[in-house]
Amino acid sequence: MAIFEGAGVALITPMNEDLSVNYNKLEEIIEEQIAGGTDAIIACGTTGEASTLTVEEHLDAIKRTIEIVNKRIPVVAGTGSNSTETAVEFSKEAEKYGADGVLVVSPYYNKATQKGLIKHFTSIAEGIDIPVLLYNIPGRTGVNIEPETIAYLVNNVENIVGVKEASGNFSNAIKTLRLCPQIDMYSGNDDQVVALMSIGAKGVISVLSNVAPRQTHEMCKAVLDGDIFKARKMQIEALDVINNLFAEVNPIPVKAAMNLQGKNVGPLRLPLTPMEKAHEEVLAKAMKEYGIL
């Protein structure tokens, strides 16, 4: 059983003006996501600015998210770190809080060999009983989790069940699915959702869902229902918004987009800075044309 099928939102972490985490706003945007049909909440990932949260904030944001959702939809906790020990401890805490699974990015900066990746992910999975999703995003981490490595882990470690595939490499994605067809694969790129689902992915872990939860859910549902023509149309219609949500490094544009929508999710923590005005204007135009502003 997959943790979820369809559109999981890679949720932003709202901030107060003093850069503290805004937990009241967190509850508000989670309720909006659930009302919009989002199929799962992914807390404290890249989009959630996990890398600039303190340990206490990171764990508290996960705990509060789980409490707010209250089992209405699955919650997947981002518990990755470039320290294996830290990732193990975060994952244990997330399981204790009631997370339905964890999303674990490959070690960044210090990287690792493929052998090192196997040991890293295995250590995390062996420390918990809930499902583990690998997170392959070489553009952020500097290392690709090779298809053979993913397949080894899924085939040999019971609770490593899937991967968020954000490499953009379709050849590797297809090879991964051939080597372990039972894998729960999720697109990590909003512009490739329908294409990746067409070859066997279960859905997406989405930035777009922050500003368009209903549309992202419906696009995934169309694929799962076999209506590829509807899904393809929706994917193409969303393209300009998606491209502009990545005009600067994520989550700069998506926070700007949510603030344009009047959601008041607050600023970003350094080293992230506000979106350039020229980029924001183009983003706003795309959002208006898409019907979400």
**Residue ranges of domains in the chain, CATH in brackets:** 6-227 (3.20.20.70)
Residue 124's pLDDT is what?
Answer: 98
Cβ distance 148 to 117 under 8 Å?
A: no
Judged on CB neighbours under 10 Å (0-12, 13-18, 19+), 72 is exposed
Residue 211's pLDDT is what?
Answer: 98
Residues 128, 51: Cα–Cα separation, whole Å:
22
Binding residues for pyruvate: 47, 205
Residue 150's pLDDT is what?
Answer: 98
Residue 240's pLDDT is what?
Answer: 98
Residue 74's pLDDT is what?
Answer: 98
Residues 211, 260: Cα–Cα separation, whole Å:
10
**Average pLDDT of each block of 10 consecutive residues along the chain (293 residues)?**
94 98 98 98 97 97 98 98 97 98 96 97 98 97 97 98 96 97 98 97 98 98 98 98 98 98 98 98 98 98
Q: Which residues are catalytic?
A: 135, 164
Binding residues: 47, 205
Cβ distance 212 to 201 under 8 Å?
A: no
Helix, strand, coil tally for the chain in percent (to 5): 50, 15, 35
pTM over 0.85: yes
Structure tokens given for 11: 């949720």
For residue 62, CA distances in Å to 27, 55, 123, 290 come to: 12, 11, 21, 31
Listed in sequence order, the residues at least 6 apart from 230 whose beta carbon sits closer than 8 Å to its beta carbon are 222
Residue 61's pLDDT is what?
Answer: 98
Residue 69's pLDDT is what?
Answer: 98
